[in-house]
Structure 1
Amino acid sequence: MSILLLGGRVAASAASISPASEKKAWLILAWVSTVAGNLSLLGSAANLIVCEQARRATVGYNLSFWSHLKFGVPSTLIVTAIGLALIR
């Protein structure tokens, strides 16, 4: 939600530089908000929904904050490194 609130300001600041900068600003903003949601279990509502569904499943898998973080940190770092290389 904060992306919707701050996106206009970011885009307006970038637009003062050039139209290409405005487009790049929106792409970076969308990318960062997506990557940030993958970092921790609380980073996205979708993460919490899947966690709860997994717990309720027949198998009853219990995904804790720390077990998600073990996957979330490395995957976020990899995606961030690739994204930064592509953005440049």
Structure 2
Amino acid sequence: MQKFSIVLSVVALLIVSYGLFYTVKVGKMVDSRQSEHDTDINPKVQAHPYLRNPIFLTYLITAALITAYIIYMAVRYAGTY
């Protein structure tokens, strides 16, 4: 159980670190654009607007990890009651 918690903690730390890095990167990019007109959206982002959004990715990964943890706990303690 402790090893699983450590793995989840490391994964959460990696997600938070990537989110912080990406946010700083986007912030610098926005600061460097000092124009009043909107720029064109990257074609990759236009094709996959939800997969290129780190907030949605964080929600999806978190939901998958929570579901995996619930299934793990259910299987582990299925015969104890």
TM-score tier after normalising by the smaller chain length: 0.3 to 0.5
Instruction: Compare the two structures and name the one with the higher helix fraction.
Output: 1
The answer to which structure, 1 or 2, has the higher relative contact order (CA under 8 A, 6+ apart) is 2
Which structure's CA Rg is the greater one?
Answer: 2
Normalising by structure 1, what TM-score? 0.41
